[in-house]
Chain A
Amino acid sequence: MRKLLSEYSSLLKNLHQIARKGDCYLIARIQEQKTKFVNIIDDRIETARKDYIKGIGMRVFTKTGYNAFGSIDNIRNKNEVIKLLKQIIVSAKKAEKLKFATNKEIFKLKPSKDIIIPKTEYSFESLKLGQIKKTLININKKAKEFLPVKANSLFNITEEIWRITRSDGTDISFKIPRSILYCVLTYKKNSQIIQRSARTAGKSYEILLDKQIQQKLIKEIKRITTIMPKLIKVPVYKSGSYDLLLDAGMAGVLIHEAFGHAAESDHLYQGSILSKKRKILKGKKVASSVVSIYDYADENDRGFYPYDSQGVKRKKITIVKKGILREAISDIYTATKTGASLTGGSKAEFYSSIPIPRMSNTILEVEKVLDDKLFSKDLVDISAQDIKNFLVKRGILKGRKKIIYLQGTMGGQVDILEGTFMLGTNALYEFTKDSVKLFKPASFSGTTLEALRSIKFALGRRNSGQLGSCGKAGQIVPVSDSANKFVFIATDEKIKIGGK
């Protein structure tokens, strides 16, 4: 197979020669990314644009491990690229002279070569604007049939190509195709207004053309439009600590935000709840024994990166097995330093970004499962009433006054050092033996380890969770997560629902 971005082979060769002459080790990363974005409000195009990015990021290390970084978009101007490389070689040597921080881990890597091009059903240019427009208008139309909303559909298709070369001869190139579709719905009644969104993601135009995917999206829109008028009227719940049931979307984001970030090796090194004196607390019980957590994405998952930004193959990472901390999402720079094994976990959003450890597809697996035919259905087909009936039938509500069901997520945030998290919900339901009551969304927050230790069981097996993006250090990268259909968390005073 031909290397991707092979037209830059001669430039890369040249750059490595210059680095070698300057007694430096070089990691060069070329990125080429094209994006098509179409936004339809109701039945007209608000925006349609195509963006294109190309550039090179270079990091040099002196033999003693001092480093500097440079990036430039004008990759076709060889002289400019070489000038920048020489400038960063000087800077790395300045860092050496001034005895700044040193890191020699990169020299331990073994060379490798690989080319990865995932197959997609449709090529980037295969669908014309008219066809995209037609599908998005159709989605908006459907939404308006359910409720008089303002419907705003946004479709984005991206093709990202990377070529990563290192002084040790490593030459990795890969392509990542991905697409995402959001439908943002705004509903206004009197002076009250509410906004919610439905989304789906994939590799290409299949998210517009596949009937099953479209039907699932429309079902989600129907569910949202059914609940929106009610959410305007319902009261705010009383704040406090309760028994909680999270759907897969919420449980996935809990694992991503509250736990996943703390398991990234730069955070372990900085000091997270999963490390002590910069070392991973391997073997420590960090969750209930029914809980396992993984980070792994195959080429169909959003968040798929076969190699990390240093050219290290990304591994399937078992972060927690039966409640015990095992591995981290690590890169070459802080894996050994934190006592974690190297899992190839770094990502850079752009050629100009500094690579940092990032999640891909984070998976929460709860082993104690109460299963039922009900849970073989899609999440969107399971109503709050269905779940409450199941909980009554299985005696789970017996002896409990209520269970709070948090449905859907608006994302979240974590404070790594404090080990506290916050997640936003789409809706909050109170289940009692005899009733299902809807309330306004509330924040779900608390301390991470208490939340994980309070996970008792799940309803149903693994379900895909949230498809979206994650922001860290100013870089936004695609991620996904998944969890059992529903996850039960027992009351803990350190886990709270924010209300009145």
Chain B
Amino acid sequence: MFAQKFYKKFEEAKNKKIISDYRVFVSKAKGCQIGITNEEIAGVYNPITFSSEISGDCLVQWQDGLISSANLNNETLYRFERFLKDLKLLKYKDPAMANFLSSQKYPSVKLYDQKVDDVVEGKEKILLDLVLKLKKWQNKIKTKVKEIGAYTTSIENVVFTSQGLFESEKSTLCGYVSSYEEKIVLEDNLRKIPEKEIIEKKRIFIEQFYSYLTKSRKVKPKEKKMPVLLMPWVSKDLFYHFIISNLDGSSVYNKESHFSLNDFKDKKQALRADLNLKYDPTIDFDVGSYKFSGEGVSSQPTDFIKNGKLETPILDLKYAKLQKSKPTAIFTIQATPLLKSEKEISFENCLDAIDEGVIVLNVLGLHTQSSVSGDYSLPSPQVLYVKNGKILGRTRAIIVGNLFEDMNQKDFQLINFATEKFPGFLIKTNVSFESAK
């Protein structure tokens, strides 16, 4: 097993009293991908690609109590002595960081699918069939520019410490993306090979909006404060940028967050009272699930916001220790948190209820907005205009507001879409429009 080689090296260093404690997380990943740009299958920018890599991270405590951290890969094994020597040059004092867990109880979370692993091992035809299917769909509606891709990855993660912890997990990932002239994207990331019926359902939904974006007439409504429906992929991006990033335990502790430590102690009302935010990484085959964190912390569901009130920041071992609390679920890149309210409505009902408003299908430059304030001023080249519950035309717009304020308004609503895990947001905010010329 690949992790044993790392284990032996670190144990040896401990036995020789070069280091006093260590924590290691290593990951072996093998991947395969294929893509289409315009009509070119597996062209120069999207070739059939195979990759194989070992990556990881370690935390080491020296005999004097100081600590060091660095990344790991295959090369580490070949030059371990030099690696430790270099590591020692960057040792520093951080008692809160020095956490080395002993053996833990872990939940049984299913994350691995043999069929995905087979693709990585040379059965790439499944991926090829998938991208060809996605291309065929786009050809049917005559898109001019298409960018399509599909990938599979097989991963083995191992975490071990000098205190007797040694745990491993196997997982797989499979995803696809099909961009319709960069106006709208059909995509998903899963643990298994995607089921045809589910992709088909998503496709019908996405192509319906592509049709509105290309076939409806251009309009220029009057600038004003109006209902704005952020599609789920837009609302998720905004929610991550402004809300989740401000729950980061390090930012909260270091006073770099919108929220303070006292806000959590006082269970401050952060969002409207009916809103709840939970993250559960123990759901079988969910793309955001995991058995253990990179620090060896057992996966567990965590309530971050309950009835609109702050419950806990996102805490790793260090910030859990500093905040005298327990570590929480850690958001992974693929995670979709559960944002819930009793007052959720369906997209169809939401549309019916809009007298005059817009649907925002993407925004440009979210990363340029300061996440701590919640303020945003975001242009969108893909906007649909809604009048009396009907989509009447397309336009470009700029939305301006503050997401913290939006999510405390009585007009704010979570909107459910049959094909999306995360809800869309209905907010009331300022909208200005570009000329219809």
- Chain A residues in contact with chain B, CB under 8 A? 36, 38, 41, 44-55, 59, 66-77, 80, 84, 87-88, 91-92, 94-95, 98, 100-101, 103, 125, 128-129, 133, 150, 152, 184, 186, 188, 192-196, 236, 239-240, 266, 269-271, 333-334, 352, 354, 356, 409-418, 420-424, 440-443, 445, 473, 493-494, 496, 498-500
Contact = CB atoms under 8 A, between A and B. Distances in A.
A411 B369 CA distance: 9
B50 A87 contact: yes
Most buried by A among B71, B90, B396: B90
B218 interface: no
A270 B398 CA distance: 27
Nearest to A81: B52
8 contacts: A54-B73, A70-B50, A73-B52, A91-B50, A236-B400, A333-B44, A352-B53, A418-B381
A195 B38 CA distance: 41
A49 B373 contact: no
B181 interface: yes
A77 to B, nearest CB: 8
B370 interface: yes
B86 interface: yes
Contacts of B14: none
Given A45-B92, A47-B69, A192-B373, A500 B400 contact: yes
B70 A52 contact: yes
B381 to A, nearest CB: 5
Given A47-B69, A129-B90, A443-B398, A94 B48 contact: yes
Contact of A100 (B43, B91, B92): B43
Nearest to B36: A101
B211 interface: no
Nearest to A41: B254
Given A101-B43, A270-B145, A415-B364, A193 B258 contact: yes
Given A71-B51, A101-B43, A417-B145, A270 B364 contact: no
Interface in B101-150: 122, 124, 128, 144-145, 147
Contacts of B430: 239, 500
Contacts of A416: 182
Given A73-B73, A421-B364, 8 more contacts: A49-B70, A59-B47, A88-B50, A91-B48, A193-B372, A422-B368, A498-B400, A498-B432
Given A73-B74, A195-B256, A416-B182, A496 B87 contact: no
Most buried by A among B86, B250, B365, B432: B365
Interface of B: 37-55, 68-71, 73-76, 78, 83, 86-87, 89-94, 122, 124, 128, 144-145, 147, 181-182, 223, 250, 254-256, 258, 364-365, 367-373, 375, 377-379, 381, 396, 398-400, 430, 432, 434-435
B256 A152 contact: yes
A440 B375 contact: yes
Nearest to A193: B372
B365 A424 contact: yes
Contacts of A88: 48, 50
Contact of B255 (A51, A150, A354): A150
Contacts of B92: 45, 48, 129, 133
B432 A239 contact: yes
A63 to B, nearest CB: 16
B365 to A, nearest CB: 4
B51 A443 contact: no
A411 B93 CA distance: 35
Contacts of B182: 415-418
B365 A70 contact: no
A489 B181 CA distance: 30
B421 to A, nearest CB: 22
A236 B372 CA distance: 17
Contact of A52 (B73, B90, B128): B73
B211 to A, nearest CB: 17
A496 B90 contact: no
Contact of A68 (B42, B89, B379): B42
Contact of A129 (B89, B94, B367, B370): B89
A73 to B, nearest CB: 5
Contact of B75 (A41, A73, A128, A195): A73
Contact of A422 (B93, B365, B372): B365
A413 B89 contact: no
A411 B410 CA distance: 33
B47 A68 contact: yes
Nearest to B250: A46
Most buried by B among A46, A94, A193, A411: A193
Contacts of B254: 41, 46, 150, 152
A68 B377 CA distance: 42
Contacts of A87: 50, 122
B122 A354 contact: no
Contact of B42 (A49, A52, A101, A152): A101
Contact of A53 (B41, B73, B86, B181): B73
Contact of A49 (B69, B93, B122, B377): B69
Contacts of B48: 68-69, 88, 91-92, 94-95
A129 B256 CA distance: 24
Contact of A498 (B83, B145, B379): B379
A422 B97 CA distance: 40
